[in-house]
Structure 1
Amino acid sequence: MHVKNALRWLAGLGVAGAWVAATAIPAGAAAPAELAVYVADTTVAIGGPGLVDGPTVAASESVVLHEPTMTFDATDLAGVVDVAEPDGFGDCTSPSARVLVCTKPYEVSLDEGGLRGLFDVVLEAAPGAEAGDSGKLKVTFGAQGLAPVSHEGTVRVGDGVDVAAGPDVKLSAAPGQAFTASPRVANVGETAVEGVTVLFENDEELHPGTRYSNCRYSGDDVRSCTFGGTLRPGATYAGAFAFVLDPANVAPSDELASVRWLTNAEYEDLVAYLEDRGVSPGEPGTEGEVALTEVAGVEAGRVQADIDPFDNSSLLEITVTGQHGVDLAAVGDTAAGAAGDTVAVEVGVVNNGPADLDTNGSGEPVTSVRVAIPTGTTAVAAPAECFPLKGGGMDPDHPGEPGARDYLCLPAISLAAGEADLVTFQLRIDEVLADATGTVTINGEDAPTFERDTDPANDTAKIVVNPSGGGGGGLPVTGAATGAAAAAGGLLLAAGVAGYVIARRRRLRFIA
């Protein structure tokens, strides 16, 4: 099952676009790392247990911070929100009213990727605060030897409400089939909920069947739908969302979507966060509104926040029916030359279809490609995504090392029908031998392996140098017809087996 990280479109909690940089460095001086800090707008529920949250911190380059410090100035939040240290930490002091200074008594590594959770605090609605009250929380981040930086975020309070997602929804559909999914949400609290927003995180094979005007889309992906009106206490509501399963989907298989319900005020905070980071929340559709059943007329509601956000998510599980498989085939090559010549061979794997293959859920390559170098030749240059095999195992510390007799190559994490993933080896001809042969093997004993290949008979191909029947380089010998193709590059492959992120130097091309 392709179980992708829930809500990956939120782009994580890393570096925000609204960084505040340190002061300029004098001309001629060595520039130290610059710190950055960002605190998001937040809504806190009245009557709730408090919200544990904190700023995101980053540095302009990799740096080790000594005793980093965060100062929380909640002066502007007097009577609105109280800020306190989580129980059991003991890293914070309060030098004055409504100011909290927290210092980590150890070294912290930081880089451009950003870090959240280092300085969390508890935000709790103050006694007497009313829905809509707000103020600014100022945070200042510093460390020994580096200039401090500051940022402000808006914190407001909302009526405490409690929405909960309904049970997981199980459906079935064939590739290319349209279907309707109806996730549920209930108001399990005692206060009417005035509007909700549902966030979607779908496998890539699930496409919107209708682009509703109260939903937001990014390309062929639905991100969110917002509803006005009132959800009565104790009532359950459902939407009817139209989807289409990708016609190139593998069958039988399983696809997954995750839904999460927010109050509309919480969604406003999320949109502000995304836009601060330069991330679009998506574009609205144009094909009419999708509705929640039992929702009354749309009206402007009070600010609200959920007192129990841990029961707001559910899943859509789609069983893909029918027979629509994938035939992966090894791709070999031929080359010719004299003794001492260096020749190129292009080898790899092709998806003969009819279905696309996507392993984004696991993050593993679609298969492994084992390459045995032809006799009488030496690999003087090997691709960076290919690892020498030594002592029966892959050597993860020397990607692209020349001179090995056998290599394990890790292709892409998705391969469309008709697409080939190829890499190039440079072979020196040490001895001219007729039909000097090596092999390309996929789906072998090496992990990862695609276990549902519909035709294992073509999982091995030959690399032939100086074939007795003539011929030159660039001609696969797997039986797949060659054709004009578009090449793609610049991709990154997360090589889970080796623990590396490898710069892709292979060719992705479509085989006619």
Structure 2
Amino acid sequence: MLKHSTRRWLAGLGVAGAFVAASATPAVAAPAAQVELYFQNMTLAPGSPGKSDALHLFSDRPTVLHDVAVRYDYRSLVGKVTIAAQHGDCTTPEEGVLLCKEHFPVSVDDLNGTWTEDVTIVPTDKAAVDDSGDLKISLQVAGKGRGSYTSRIRIGEGVDLAGGPNTEFTVKPGGAFEAPLTVVNVGEKPVKDVVAWFDLDYSIRTKDRFSNCFYVEDHLIACLLDEEIPAGEGRTATLNFQLGKDTYAPGHEYGNARFLTYGDFEDLFDVREEAGARAAKRGSGPKLTLRDAPTKVTRAAQTDTDPTNNFTEWQITVSGDNGADLEAIGAKLTGKAGDVVAATVGFRNNGPATLDYLRTDMDVTYVDVTVPTGTTAVEVPFECAPRKGNANDWDEPGKPGGREYRCYPGPIAPAGEELTGEFRLRIDKVIANATGLVKVNVPCECDGGFYKDLKPANDTAKILVNAAAGDGGQGGGDGDDDGGTLPITGTSIGLVAGIGALLLVAGVGGYLVAKRRRTRFVA
């Protein structure tokens, strides 16, 4: 029920995505779900065991695909690589083509998408540095084409980077801390260029503006370090971070830097512009440079088969007391019998702290909405499900016609912002002061939720429906008639989920779908 639709933004490369709410017009058959494909570009080292990945499917609405087959065409790379499935029913109808059938129906949700079975791409003994070709992937559903995608596969020199030791801090909201950024070349060849890609919690901000680093507002995304690191040596630098004053306390925050070769970074980064992602800007300050790292951080040689060695982590214990007050938002509506009126309801985080559950993807709170007597919910936010039976039994999300709804607003509620969704109610019978309710922080036998509200007295608000004074109208709906797009407003929540999610495979692919969706939500 989020105005900002943060769940989709997390799959949206840092910009506002949109999504499709349930239609309230059953007379018109809904079109088939639009399915998008994504398979990450890949760089392989000669003589390596190769890399495994899966085709990621995204849809503009929840859908189930039956009789699914995926065709991998790598004929431009015949003799250079082989592709095989780790599991599944696959055949090779011709050289350079792998056809894999899914044994079970493939369920695609519109939040995170889904994956087909992994395939492994391995360089042959004839593969040489700078070899390159296309991997053309096509999706068939029940014998019909439903999408295609082309990825680049190339051969590059193999190296091995490792992150420095992890660090722990104790910081108050608004407090500063210095984080070491250390990378070690544990391979046998020099590394010419290194990229530090950051995955930082929303609360972690920076005032540095290095000319070789990229930022969105005060969030650090990546630094391009064009310095050669000889085999067996380490390099280090210091980053100045600060927790936002809206950081919840007591609590814990987390950040990490992942070190990549420039080629591997390109494999992640190059689709970002195509996806229309929000632009990151270079800093205007001095260049971030690396100095020799102490020899104590050098590790024994490790191979790239253990990618976890590419990280350095920062664990922050947040001290102090900084809570949040979530206030329910109701609506006052007027109209005559037969009118459809818009109730924009939800809650406001009065702060002072932001609630951030992005690492776990749990909902920050649960919101119950009771539809006023004499009205029928003809269109509801997709994040809201009608009660089906007992207290813990809920029907399909976005389904109209219910009397009571449980809404799942997503994993972040920024301090000072409203998170709302629109319920469109048909007035069946005008009843004086017909009353519905909005309740925030309701108990839920599930993960997430918020039960330490600073002011529980404002956790409930009314939805009131009365007769129109004149010719009736659609009072209470305070949204713009903008065709249903979701604007970027407020503090750009799309920067969260660890800003490093800007480059995640799921984020890239998800935004390719999200940017084309429409929603019945209004700002």
Q: Deviations over 1:52-92 (max 9, x none)?
A: 357778999987566554332256x75xx442536777834
Q: Quick check: 2:485–2:522 contact (8 Å CA) kept in 1?
A: no
The residue aligned with 1:302 is none
Q: CA deviation at 1:442?
A: 2.6
Q: CA deviation at 1:257?
A: 1.8
Q: CA deviation at 1:230?
A: 2.9
Q: Secondary structure at the match of 2:264?
A: helix
The equivalences for 1:434-449 within 5 A come to 439-446=437-444, 449=449
- CA shift in 2, pair 1:223/1:352, >3 Å: closer
The equivalences for 1:180-199 within 5 A come to 180-199=178-197
The residue aligned with 1:452 is 452
Which residue identity does 1:201 align to in structure 2? D
Which residue identity does 1:223 align to in structure 2? I
Q: Which runs of 5+ in 1 are unaligned?
A: 13-31, 296-304, 467-472, 477-483, 494-500
Q: 2:133 aligns with which of 128, 132, 136?
A: 136
Q: CA deviation at 1:291?
A: 2.0
Q: Deviations over 1:267-287 (max 9, x none)?
A: 233333445655578332221
Which residue identity does 1:226 align to in structure 2? L
Q: Secondary structure at the match of 1:85?
A: strand
Cα distance in 2 between the residues matched to 1:55 and 1:9:
16
Q: Deviations over 1:134-158 (max 9, x none)?
A: 2434647586565997957351231
Bigger RCO (CA 8 Å, 6+ sep): 2
Kindly indicate whether residue 238 of structure 2 is the aligned counterpart of residue 236 of structure 1.
no
The equivalences for 1:52-131 within 5 A come to 52-53=52-53, 68-74=70-76, 81-85=80-84, 91-93=90-92, 99-105=95-101, 118=117, 120-124=119-123, 126=125
The equivalences for 1:76-475 within 5 A come to 81-85=80-84, 91-93=90-92, 99-105=95-101, 118=117, 120-124=119-123, 126=125, 132-137=129-134, 139=136, 141=138, 151=150, 153-158=152-157, 160-275=158-273, 279=277, 282-294=280-292, 306=304, 308-332=306-330, 348-371=346-369, 377-381=373-377, 384-385=380-381, 386-389=384-387, 390-397=389-396, 399=398, 401-402=400-401, 404=403, 406-411=404-409, 413-421=411-419, 439-446=437-444, 449-461=449-461
Q: Secondary structure at the match of 1:266?
A: helix
% identity of equivalent residues: 28
Which residue identity does 1:457 align to in structure 2? A
| Larger strand share, 1 or 2 | 1
Q: Quick check: 2:328–2:346 contact (8 Å CA) kept in 1?
A: yes
Cα distance in 1 between the residues matched to 2:137 and 2:519:
40
Cα distance in 2 between the residues matched to 1:340 and 1:153:
56
Q: Deviations over 1:283-324 (max 9, x none)?
A: 3222111122218xxxxxxxxx95653421243222222222
Which residue identity does 2:187 align to in structure 1? G
Output the TM-score relative to the length of structure 2: 0.65
Q: Quick check: 1:490–1:504 contact (8 Å CA) kept in 2?
A: yes
Q: CA deviation at 1:200?
A: 1.0
- CA shift in 2, pair 1:167/1:70, >3 Å: same
Q: CA deviation at 1:431?
A: 6.0
Cα distance in 2 between the residues matched to 1:59 and 1:164:
36
Mean Cα displacement is larger for which, 381-390 or 224-233?
381-390
Cα distance in 2 between the residues matched to 1:465 and 1:58:
39
Which residue identity does 1:190 align to in structure 2? E
Q: Secondary structure at the match of 1:265?
A: helix
- CA shift in 2, pair 1:345/1:198, >3 Å: closer
Cα distance in 2 between the residues matched to 1:145 and 1:112:
21
- CA shift in 2, pair 1:237/1:349, >3 Å: same
Alpha-carbon RMSD across the aligned residues, in angstroms, is 5.2
- CA shift in 2, pair 1:72/1:110, >3 Å: farther
The residue aligned with 2:42 is 42
Mean Cα displacement is larger for which, 199-208 or 33-42?
33-42
Structure whose alpha-carbon radius of gyration is higher: 1
The residue aligned with 1:24 is none
Q: Secondary structure at the match of 2:205?
A: strand
Q: Quick check: 2:214–2:281 contact (8 Å CA) kept in 1?
A: yes
Q: Deviations over 1:103-154 (max 9, x none)?
A: 2255776999997665724322626x66x44243464758656599795735
Output the TM-score relative to the length of structure 1: 0.67
- CA shift in 2, pair 1:237/1:339, >3 Å: closer
Kindly indicate whether residue 51 of structure 2 is the aligned counterpart of residue 51 of structure 1.
yes
Q: Secondary structure at the match of 1:161?
A: coil
How many positions carry a matched residue from both structures?
442
Which residue identity does 1:238 align to in structure 2? T
Which residue identity does 2:131 align to in structure 1? S
Which residue identity does 2:189 align to in structure 1? T
Q: Quick check: 2:88–2:100 contact (8 Å CA) kept in 1?
A: no
Q: CA deviation at 1:222?
A: 2.1
The residue aligned with 1:469 is none
Q: Quick check: 1:208–1:221 contact (8 Å CA) kept in 2?
A: yes
The residue aligned with 2:296 is none
